[in-house]
Amino acid sequence: MAEVCRVRSSGTMIVLTLVVAVLSVAGCNGAKQPHIVFIVADDLGWNDVGWHNPAMITPTLNRMASEGVILNSSYVQYLCSPSRTSFMTGYFPYRTGLQHEVIAAGQPRYLPAHFTTLPEMLGKQGYRTHIVGKWHLGMCNWKYTPTERGFESFFGYYSGMEFYYNHTRLDGYDFRANKSVALDPTRTYADYLFVDHALDIIEKHNPEEPLFLYLPFHLVHVPHEVPARFENMYSSIQDDYRRIYCGMVSMLDEAVKNVTDALEKAGLTDNMFLIFTTDNGGPTFNGANNLPLRGAKATYWEGGTRGAGFVHSKNLLQKTGYTNNGMMHAADWFPTLLHLAGSKPDSDIDGVNQWDMLSTGVDSPRTTFVYNIDNITRAAAIRHGDYKLMVGSPGGWNGWYPLPKLHAQLKEQLAHDAEDVDQQWKPQLYNIKEDPEERHDLSSQMPEMMKFLQGELEKYRQKEVPPQNAPYDPAGDPTHFGGVWTPGWC
């Protein structure tokens, strides 16, 4: 087993699952580089935040969203490894090889080392760079792990999910402090530990140096585990899945409160830019909800790809307290944050700088983006202006899933929808501005728009790289490494 250290487990409150990106307007009026806090919630549904659904108990997130800018048309990828690829590189995933599903434990898949990451670029601008939480961009070789990809410290886990209390995935332990195994003999809830560690970073940080704190929380991903006091906030909900899931959302809200309180106490918030986003739509099959949007996590429908989120800053945003409907994509955070840091990305990336839109409310510079291109499933989707084209199967959860319902009552519909993955889907066209719920397929009524979008999609296909699809490799089994998921086998 690798070198071991023990984690602090004071049980400080909570879960921070946002992505806060704080960038400095170094090139604007000579301002000091801003601190960047990038908070990512895992599997948060569109209808699972208080500004969309008053039944959700998220007072901290509600307040920050109302004081900042709510992002009403901010898109992520349909699954988490693809979204994290875009956050970290500014590329659409079909250009990195991570467009097909996610990196499963034991698969020799990864974000290729030749891609320059956001923390690498920020580090060159003098930022102190830290990640606390979930990585999920590869771990079969040390060179694919966070501290080799631009982060000076890492506290969290490598894979896509694990049990919150015992930190295991498929019988292997997955918890690290930098490259060392982080033992937790108290079996403390993971996101309590994440918040504790984030607070430690904040307390020790020199405020004269710009900070990039990336907080990709485990919450609110399965498994359904949460301290009872959060579940009890929703005691009127009958369905176990939904009740626990909602409790996890409120735990996330408390985590954000504890982190932002610490940032305020440390004097970092006067010059800070914070981003809160989900990594994909909510899994309706696991208690989340995306109403009124169609579909779920793992689909190209709006419910799988339009992310609940906001930006917040005390002084960097000129226009606040409103909902911004400008189109942006997960890849846009890369050039936007580099702009704030006083740097520029490679011109070949897919992301566009959204700072003017976010800070002043002007129109978005983005007119087109690709939801995904996957030549294994032969499915793809693209949006240009108000119109969205989907070809092939949009995924396995293709309906509108109301609440409240007992999970058992949903089973039949969910099982039916899962079978839809294999059916022959004809190309579909939707006007997302007029029909955000995707109820009216316009493909037969607008042949010229169909032809145009199909042509645009083919242009993007020219840059597709083969998707990584390596199967589980027994060489990476934790039994070879003292029961711990450990790099070094690919």
- Identify whether the C-beta of residue 306 lies closer than 8 Å to the C-beta of residue 281: yes
Mean pLDDT of 63-83: 98
14, 88, 152, 326, 488 from 4: Cα distances, Å: 24, 28, 18, 47, 17
Say whether pLDDT at 428 is over 90. yes
Angle of helix 240-265 relative to helix 407-419, nearest 10 degrees, comes to 90
| CA–CA gap between residue 210 and residue 127 (Å, rounded) | 5
State yes or no: cis peptide before 220, omega within 30 of 0. yes
Say whether pLDDT at 158 is over 60. yes
Residue percentage of the chain with pLDDT more than 70? 90
| CA–CA gap between residue 188 and residue 166 (Å, rounded) | 8
- Identify whether the C-beta of residue 375 lies closer than 8 Å to the C-beta of residue 467: yes
Beta-bridge mates of residue 284: none
**Taking phi first (over 0 means left), then psi (-120 to 50 degrees means alpha), and beta for anything else, what does residue 353 get?**
beta
| CATH code assigned to 13-367 | 3.40.720.10
Q: Which residues contact 235 (CB under 8 A, 6 or more apart)?
A: 243
Beta-bridge mates of residue 389: 382, 429
pTM higher than 0.85, yes or no?
Answer: yes
Looking at residue 130, what is its pLDDT?
98
Show the tokens assigned to 7.
Answer: 């984690």
Give me Rg for the CA atoms of the chain.
21
Confidence of residue 403 (pLDDT cuts 50, 70, 90): confident
Residue percentage of the chain with pLDDT more than 90? 87
Say whether pLDDT at 445 is over 80. yes
- Identify whether the C-beta of residue 176 lies closer than 8 Å to the C-beta of residue 155: yes
pLDDT digits (tens, 9 = 90+) for 290-346: 999 999 999 999 999 999 999 999 999 999 999 999 999 999 999 999 999 999 998
| CA–CA gap between residue 329 and residue 73 (Å, rounded) | 9
Q: How would you class 349 by CB atoms within 10 Å of its CB: exposed for 0-12, middle for 13-18, buried for 19 or more?
A: buried
| CA–CA gap between residue 180 and residue 133 (Å, rounded) | 15
Say whether pLDDT at 26 is over 90. no
Looking at residue 21, what is its pLDDT?
37
Please indicate whether residue 339 is annotated as part of the active site: no
Mean pLDDT of 133-147: 98
Mean pLDDT of 90-100: 98
Confidence of residue 424 (pLDDT cuts 50, 70, 90): confident
- Identify whether the C-beta of residue 341 lies closer than 8 Å to the C-beta of residue 120: no
Q: Which of helix, strand or coil describes residue 305?
A: helix
Which DSSP string corresponds to 99-121? -SS---TT------TTSPPHHHH
78-82, 123-127, 239-243: lowest mean pLDDT where?
Answer: 239-243
> For residue 437, how many other CB atoms are within 10 A of its CB?
15
Looking at residue 354, what is its pLDDT?
98
Mean confidence (pLDDT) of the chain: 92
Closest CA to 286 of 165, 410, 394: 410
Say whether pLDDT at 22 is over 60. no
Looking at residue 87, what is its pLDDT?
98
Mean pLDDT of 447-458: 98
pLDDT digits (tens, 9 = 90+) for 231-251: 999 999 999 999 999 999 999
Active-site residue among 52, 80, 224, 339?
80
Among the residues of 16-174, which ranges form H helices? 59-67, 80-89, 118-124
**Signed CA dihedral, 83, 86, 89, 94: sign only:** positive
Closest CA to 350 of 89, 79, 73: 89
Active-site residue among 52, 136, 205, 339?
136
Looking at residue 347, what is its pLDDT?
83
DSSP state of 68: S
| CA–CA gap between residue 364 and residue 423 (Å, rounded) | 36
Say whether pLDDT at 103 is over 70. yes
Say whether pLDDT at 279 is over 50. yes
**Signed CA dihedral, 244, 276, 40, 211: sign only:** negative
Show the tokens assigned to 235.
Answer: 């005691």
Domain segments of the chain: what residues?
A: 13-367
- Identify whether the C-beta of residue 222 lies closer than 8 Å to the C-beta of residue 242: no
Beta-bridge mates of residue 41: 278
Please indicate whether residue 384 is annotated as part of the active site: no
Mean pLDDT of 405-432: 73
| CA–CA gap between residue 239 and residue 235 (Å, rounded) | 10
> For residue 346, how many other CB atoms are within 10 A of its CB?
13
- Identify whether the C-beta of residue 239 lies closer than 8 Å to the C-beta of residue 1: no
225 against 12, higher pLDDT: 225
| CA–CA gap between residue 303 and residue 280 (Å, rounded) | 9
| CA–CA gap between residue 258 and residue 73 (Å, rounded) | 28
Confidence of residue 407 (pLDDT cuts 50, 70, 90): low
299 against 4, higher pLDDT: 299
Residues, the chain: 490
| CA–CA gap between residue 289 and residue 202 (Å, rounded) | 33
Residue type, 50: G
pLDDT digits (tens, 9 = 90+) for 171-224: 999 999 999 999 999 999 999 999 999 999 999 999 999 999 999 999 999 999
